[in-house]
Amino acid sequence: SYVGTLRTVFSMAKRWKYVVENPFSDVPLPKWEKPRPRTYSIEEIRAILRMTAQHAPECLDIFLVYLLTGMRASEAIRLEWQDIHFEQGYIELKQTKGKKIRYVPMGPIVRAIFLRRRSAVRPFDTFVRSSTHRKQQRKFDGMFLSKQWKRMANLAGVPDAQLKRTRGTYATALLEVANVSLLAAQSIVGHADIETTKQYYFNPLSEDILEKIPAIDAMFQDLLPQKTEQIVGNKWATPPENPRN
């Protein structure tokens, strides 16, 4: 923020004795609610994949893997066959951003993609035609795939599209569809800070969640005193002294 910048500038000026005091030292930094990160809807994903199948079929497999594993672009490109554990059902990521080994579950679609590509030297050792030289070919790289994703999204009419947002889309699916824990989702997607993972939760006061809360109350119903207050509709009410009458 501008306050933080001015505070730093005047702090350096004070250190160099250009000013006596820092007028921004006690000025509080402005606070604002961080918006929920952009993720893709099912309709947007379907539209992008449809355009990919028509205009860039060589990218379809790796786009599906991104959407269904939450891997970073470079992580999928660097995969070796020994990283794919078919029998155990997971992918071992050794070359990650955080320099730590990460394990990602492998669903049926991803498994089928890898089995179909088994004859290749590496899972995504794919050559594509260069846009600058008609006969020249080159391997997949992050820049090429990011541009292709954006191009397919433009063809599909999907705004504000970036390949890296497939990770957030997968994180949302883990939390809201698969109902995995925050810690599990953080580990699978590879967020260094759990606060980053938390951003992909839906509103904790959504109707879907509020409808599930009474089930928790029911678990404790038998533990409550007989004359305790109870909820009737949306109002508090005290149970009658003699329910039979």
What's the pLDDT tens digit per position in 44-57? 999 999 999 999 99
Q: Distance between CA 120 and CA 176 in Å, rounded?
A: 35
Ramachandran category for residue 102: left, alpha or beta (phi over 0 → left; psi -120 to 50 → alpha): beta
Residue 81 reports pLDDT greater than 80: yes
**Phi and psi angles of residue 218, each rounded to the nearest 5 degrees, phi first:** -60, -30
pLDDT at 218: 64
C-alpha distances (whole Å) from 94 to each of 65, 85, 97, 211 are: 17, 13, 10, 42
Query: Tens digits of per-residue pLDDT, 133-156?
Result: 555 566 788 899 999 999 999 999
Gyration radius of the chain's alpha carbons: 26
Average pLDDT over residues 167-183: 84
| Structure tokens given for 213 | 């809360």
pLDDT at 25: 83
Beta bridge partners of 92: 103
pLDDT at 165: 94
pLDDT at 219: 55
Looking at the chain, how many residues does it have? Answer: 245
Of the pLDDT bands very low, low, confident and very high (cuts 50, 70, 90), residue 99 is: confident
pLDDT at 233: 42
Residue 204 reports pLDDT greater than 60: no
Q: Are 98 and 161 in contact (CB under 8 A)?
A: no
| Structure tokens given for 188 | 């699978």
